[in-house]
Amino acid sequence: MSKEFAVIGLGRFGGSICRELSNEGMDVLAIDKNEDRVNEFKNIASHAVIADSTDEETLKELGIKNIEHVIVAIGDNIQASILTTVILTDLHIKKITVKANNDYHEKILNRIGANQVVHPERDMGKRIAHSIISNNILDYLELSDEYSIVEVKAGKKMAGKSLIDLDIRANYGCNVVAIKQGSDINVSPSAEDLLDEQDVLIVIGGDRDLARFEKHLV
């Protein structure tokens, strides 16, 4: 049986989640108060309904209680986003993911019981900033306020050298957790093997350490 989801707010972000879940064969209830938005998703989601999610009775009538995972993607209206989240937590929805607009909004959402708060504009901005520092930084993922993972191409600076030669752990306090070569991925990289220019290193570490690593070796 496919998992059941509801997406509230069908803007660019919520709409994209709704499309992707539907493409993956998931059962999606799409909700927006705007009729045009809802019509756009009639043929995409399993069900698409016009409703104001700040109205508890309406959400109950839609059977939201039986849905495992609800995604709240109400954009600029922070008040509506918060109120909707409160209603969903009161209804004991198992999993609630909410899009935050700013750090303050994020704090409130965590406080009122959202299980997962996402901040796509900020996070995507950080990832892109790292990727434009160097063409060899392929991706960047924040693990916490202090720790991150970066995916970097070995490039000219690391090519022909081994992890021992580069002494990454000792010099930068970072760990290479995996090395990708084409479609192969080696999750226990040997310290002696020589890196190829096209190899991709997945490196975990503290943000300051990673910044030094990026500055010197990437």
Residues that bind ligand ATP (CB under 6 A): 8-13, 31-34, 37, 52-54, 73-77, 80, 99, 163-164, 167-170, 175-176, 189, 191
Query: Which residue of this chain has its Cβ atom nearest to ligand ATP in the complex?
Result: 75
User: How many Å apart are CA 146 and CA 206, to the nearest integer?
Assistant: 6
Q: Measured from the CB atom, is 2 or 104 closer to ligand ATP?
A: 104
Least distance from ligand ATP to the Cβ atom of residue 9, Å: 3
CB of 176 to ligand ATP, least distance (A): 3
Contacts of 67 (CB under 8 A, 6+ apart): 4, 5, 6, 29, 93
- According to DSSP, the β-strands at 137-142 and 116-118 are unpaired
Q: Which does 8 bind (CB under 5 to 8 A by kind): Ca ion, ligand ATP, none?
A: ligand ATP
Question: Residue 150's closest CA among 163, 136, 167, 169?
Answer: 136
Q: Which does 163 bind (CB under 5 to 8 A by kind): Ca ion, ligand ATP, none?
A: ligand ATP
* Binding partner at 46 among Ca ion, ligand ATP, none, C-beta below 5 to 8 Å by kind: none
**Residue 149: which residues within 8 A CB-CB, separation 6 or more?**
140, 141, 143, 177, 202, 203, 204
Nearer to ligand ATP by Cβ, of 1 and 109: the residue is 109
How many Å apart are CA 155 and CA 23, to the nearest integer? 36
User: 129 is in the binding site of which of ligand ATP, Ca ion, none (Cβ under 5 to 8 A by kind)?
Assistant: none
User: Which positions from 58 to 87 touch Ca ion by CB under 5 A, shown as an x/- string?
Assistant: -----------------x------------
What is d(CA 37, CA 39) in angstroms, rounded to the nearest whole number?
5
Contact criterion met (CB below 8 Å) for 9 and 38: no
